[in-house]
């Protein structure tokens, strides 16, 4: 285990102990009040900066994907081609697939937004984010609000727990009509096929925990052209096109 991971594990143990520690009312009120102010501050800054960016697509994916991985180049290509259709790109602001998305946006002359999360390891802002569109967050839930509130589509490349969290957050909000039925595109059928089969076989057929039409909330493709086409075709049916 690396030194960073050891420190992270110790930090986690301290948080568990802290959760069971008895606190008096003054301590509770003070800690919660400061947390509320910090949360409000992140929302205010996010709303102020994001409200003027125009139509964007969020690209999700692993922070651990290296530049020599084919999915990295696929992320660059998707982002570049989307900017040529008038969309800006929003990513989590870090390395890996997120960096690929911002790199493609920068190469295409589009808006390149990074919603960076403060983590004990992995996450640092990548160099392809527009300086005035680089936001830092301490709270995952505030960051996710920015992803879904200011995106008109979601492209999901292979990733880990964070990527799955963002994917299912988007699916849930669309399924429950909390946001519009924006296109969700999973890129990489060999990576996503196991998950999709489980959703079809276990979640739908076996347990009936979703409706058959919920499977239409996302599409699976293998190329950048197909991913972009789904998003462009979706908006063309409404005669809508990005105007920046």
Per mean pLDDT, which range of 13-17, 53-57, 175-179 is the poorest? 13-17
* Residue 107 burial (CB count, 10 A): 15
| Contacting residues for 240 by C-beta, under 8 A, at least 6 apart | none
pLDDT digit string (tens) for 185-194? Answer: 999 999 999 9
Max Cα–Cα distance, the chain, nearest Å: 59
Residue 199 pLDDT greater than 80, yes or no: yes
Share of the chain above pLDDT 90, in %: 77
DSSP 141-161: HHHHHHHHHT-S-EEE-S--H
Structural domains in the chain, sorted by start? 40-236 (3.40.50.450)
Q: How many Cα atoms within 13 Å fall on the side-chain side of residue 61? A: 36
């Amino acid at each position: 285990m690396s030194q960073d991971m050891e420190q992270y594990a110790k930090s986690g143990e301290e948080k568990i102990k802290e959760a069971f520690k008895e606190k008096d009312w003054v301590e509770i009120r003070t800690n919660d009040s400061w947390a509320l102010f910090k949360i409000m501050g992140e929302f205010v800054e996010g709303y102020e900066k994001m409200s003027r960016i125009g139509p964007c697509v969020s690209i999700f994916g692993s922070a651990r994907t290296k530049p020599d991985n084919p999915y990295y180049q696929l992320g660059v290509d998707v982002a570049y081609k989307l900017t040529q259709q008038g969309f800006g790109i929003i990513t989590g602001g870090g390395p890996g697939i997120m960096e690929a998305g911002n790199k493609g946006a920068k190469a295409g002359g589009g808006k390149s937004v990074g919603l960076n999360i403060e983590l004990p390891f992995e996450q640092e802002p990548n160099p392809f984010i527009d300086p005035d569109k680089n936001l830092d967050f301490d709270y995952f839930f505030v960051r996710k609000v920015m992803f879904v509130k200011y995106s008109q589509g979601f492209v999901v490349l292979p990733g880990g727990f964070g990527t799955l969290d963002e994917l299912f957050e988007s699916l849930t909000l669309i399924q429950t009509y909390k946001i519009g039925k924006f296109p969700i595109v999973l890129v990489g059928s060999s990576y996503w096929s196991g998950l999709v089969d489980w959703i079809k076989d276990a979640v739908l057929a076996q347990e009936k925990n979703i409706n058959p039409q919920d499977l239409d909330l996302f599409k699976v493709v293998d190329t950048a052209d197909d991913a972009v086409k789904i998003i462009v075709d979706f908006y063309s049916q409404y005669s809508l096109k990005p105007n920046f």
